[in-house]
């Protein structure tokens, strides 16, 4: 199985800050990397697919980059509604695997 | 609009089985695979398996092989996930989610159900 290593595990930032989360795959996964945001008790929501493509209806403040095994997710200007836990996930192969998540809080 | 609506919360005893449903609507049922992902309390997301509704073909995570069965009813556009020989560690929030189904590639999980809480307790 492909292992996904995500960092940091938690992050506290101020409104307006630029925030970056990284994700590393245990092997080359091309651009088969997605990012989700989850609020407590709710379903994850797809934000970025294929490493850098914005999902429908998602704010352009969110962005993704990378290919191969190293990826990053960025929020250009943090807003209060962005709090939650962010997960990376690979769909290069089955089984789909997720990073352990980054819990984002407002300072 | 596209919707995945899951059945309600379940409480089951250790050793028993539980069956969760995922009723889909608003899109071509056979054009998307349905995946199951679970989340134990305070933990991350764990992929369990998927079904291709057109053929009924399934794939399961090794962790759940022999304990999980995913089926579908095309007339009801509904997918079912049954987990057997339940243990306390199976207490979790279970999600269904869809992904585009085309040969030769795997796709992201773009629409999710609301989740079903399964509690395993004696």
Read off the pLDDT of residues A35-60 as tens digits, 9 standing for 90 and up: 999 999 999 999 999 999 999 999 99
pLDDT digits (tens, 9 = 90+) for A58-78: 999 999 999 999 999 999 999
How sure is the predictor about B104, in pLDDT bands with cuts at 50, 70 and 90? confident
CB contact under 8 A, B110 and A95: no
* Percent above pLDDT 90 for chain A: 100
Answer yes or no: do B44 and A95 touch at CB < 8 A: no
pLDDT, tens only, B64-75: 989 999 999 999
Buried/exposed code over A45-79 (b: 16+ C-beta within 10 A; e: otherwise): bbbbbebbebbeebeeebbbebeebebbbbbeebe
For the segment B97-114, the average pLDDT, to the nearest whole number, is 96
Best mutation target, A56, A89, A96, A99, to test chain B (most B CBs within 10 A): A96
Q: How far is A50 from chain B (nearest CA, A)?
A: 8
Question: Which residues in chain B have Cβ-Cβ distances shorter than 8 Å to A96?
Answer: 35, 37, 47, 106, 109
Q: Which residues contact A57 (CB under 8 A, 6 or more apart)?
A: none
Chain B residues closer than 8 Å to A57 by CB: none
Token pair in block for residue A80: 């209060």
* CB contacts, 8 Å: A34 with chain B: 108-109
Rounded mean pLDDT of chain A? 97
- List the single residue in B45, B95, B115 with the smallest CB-CB distance to A87: B45
Residue B13 CB-density burial (10 A; 0-12 exposed, 13-18 middle, 19+ buried): exposed
- A42 min Cα distance to partner chain B (Å): 7
Quote the pLDDT of residue B3: 98
**pLDDT for res B65:** 87
Q: How far apart are CA B120 and CA B87, in angstroms?
A: 6
Q: Say if residue A15's pLDDT is above 90.
A: yes
């Amino acid at each position: 199985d492909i292992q996904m290593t995500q960092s940091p595990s938690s992050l506290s930032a101020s409104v307006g800050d630029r925030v970056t989360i990284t994700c590393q795959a245990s092997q080359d996964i091309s651009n088969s990397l997605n990012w989700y945001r989850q609020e407590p008790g709710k379903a994850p929501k797809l934000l970025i697919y294929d490493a850098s493509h914005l999902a429908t209806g998602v704010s352009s403040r969110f962005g993704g980059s990378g290919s191969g095994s190293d990826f990053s997710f960025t929020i250009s200007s943090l807003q209060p509604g962005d709090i939650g836990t962010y997960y990376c996930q690979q769909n290069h192969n089955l089984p789909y695997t997720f990073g352990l998540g980054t819990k984002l809080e407002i300072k | 609009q596209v919707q995945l609506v899951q059945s309600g919360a379940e409480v089951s005893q250790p050793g028993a089985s539980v069956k969760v449903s995922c009723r889909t609507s608003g899109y071509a049922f056979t054009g998307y695979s349905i995946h199951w992902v679970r989340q134990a309390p305070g933990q991350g997301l764990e992929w369990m398996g998927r079904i291709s509704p057109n053929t009924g073909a399934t794939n399961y995570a090794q962790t759940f092989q022999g304990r999980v069965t995913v089926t579908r009813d095309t007339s009801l556009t509904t997918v079912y996930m049954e987990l057997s020989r339940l243990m306390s560690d199976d207490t979790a929030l279970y999600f269904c989610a869809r992904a585009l189904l085309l040969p030769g590639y795997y796709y992201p999980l773009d629409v999710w159900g609301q989740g079903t809480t399964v509690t395993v307790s004696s």
